[in-house]
C-alpha cells in the first residue's frame, strides 16, 4: 500500500527532517505545529501526505504535532513578453474538463511555471 505513496512518503520524510533540524536549532523539546505550503501543481496527494506524516512522526520531536496545509496557486512567467501571473485555465467544452495551460495568455508563447510546484515549510510552532 505504501508503495503507491512514494512521492508523499519522501516528501513527508523531508518535511520532518527539516522540522527536526529547525526545532533542535531552537532548543525545542517538541514541535506543536508545522505550517506547510503545498503548490497546486506539486502533484502531492494531501490525504496521503497526512497519512505518511502521521506514520513517520512517531518517536520524534514531532510526535502529536499538527500538520497544517495551505494551498499555493501556480504562477507562470513568459520569457518573450515578460508576463508573470496565474496559470491560465483552459476549458475543454467538449469534455467538460478544465486544465492548466502553459501558454502565455498575452503572446501565446510557451511559458514556464515559476511557482506552485513546490512544497515547503512556511513556519513551525515549537515548545521549549
Ligand atoms: Zn508572453
**How many helices, marked H, and strands, marked E, lie in the chain?**
2, 8
Q: How far is the CA of 11 from the centre of ligand 1 (A)?
A: 33
- Across the range 30-41, mean pLDDT stands at 95
- Across the range 28-42, mean pLDDT stands at 95
Q: How far is the CA of 50 from the centre of ligand 1 (A)?
A: 38
Does an H or E element contain 121, and which? strand 119-127
**Do residues 41 and 112 lie in contact, with contact meaning Cβ atoms separated by under 8 Å?**
no
Is the predicted pLDDT of residue 44 greater than 80, yes or no? yes
Is the predicted pLDDT of residue 2 greater than 60, yes or no? no
Name every residue whose Cβ is closer than 8 Å to that of residue 25 and which is 6 or more positions away in sequence. none
Q: How far is the CA of 100 from the centre of ligand 1 (A)?
A: 16
Q: How far is the CA of 48 from the centre of ligand 1 (A)?
A: 36
Q: How far is the CA of 86 from the centre of ligand 1 (A)?
A: 13
Q: What is the pLDDT of residues 82-104, one digit of tens each?
A: 999 998 877 767 777 767 778 89
**Do residues 42 and 12 lie in contact, with contact meaning Cβ atoms separated by under 8 Å?**
no
Q: Are strands 66-72 and 30-39 parallel, antiparallel or unpaired?
A: parallel
Q: How far is the CA of 115 from the centre of ligand 1 (A)?
A: 17
**pLDDT for residue 18:** 96
**pLDDT for residue 43:** 87
Q: How far is the CA of 72 from the centre of ligand 1 (A)?
A: 22
**pLDDT for residue 3:** 64
DSSP 2: G
Q: How far is the CA of 113 from the centre of ligand 1 (A)?
A: 13
Closest CA to 60 of 105, 28, 104: 28
Is the predicted pLDDT of residue 75 greater than 70, yes or no? yes
Is the predicted pLDDT of residue 22 greater than 60, yes or no? yes
Mean pLDDT of the chain: 90
**pLDDT for residue 37:** 96
Can you list the domains of the chain with their CATH numbers?
2-72+117-127 (3.30.2320.50), 75-113 (no CATH)
Amino acid at each position: 500500500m505504501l508503495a503507491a505513496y512514494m512521492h508523499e512518503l519522501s516528501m513527508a520524510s523531508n518535511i520532518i527532517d527539516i522540522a527536526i533540524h529547525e526545532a533542535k536549532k531552537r532548543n525545542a523539546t517538541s514541535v506543536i505545529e508545522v505550517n506547510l505550503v503545498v503548490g497546486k501543481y506539486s502533484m502531492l496527494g494531501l490525504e496521503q501526505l497526512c497519512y505518511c506524516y502521521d506514520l513517520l512522526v512517531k518517536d520524534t520531536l514531532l510526535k502529536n504535532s499538527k500538520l497544517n496545509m495551505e494551498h499555493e496557486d501556480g504562477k507562470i512567467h513568459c520569457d518573450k513578453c515578460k508576463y508573470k501571473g496565474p496559470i491560465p485555465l483552459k476549458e475543454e467544452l467538449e469534455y467538460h474538463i478544465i486544465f492548466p495551460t502553459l501558454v502565455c495568455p498575452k503572446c501565446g508563447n510557451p511559458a514556464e511555471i515559476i511557482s506552485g510546484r513546490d512544497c515547503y515549510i512556511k513556519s513551525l510552532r515549537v515548545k521549549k
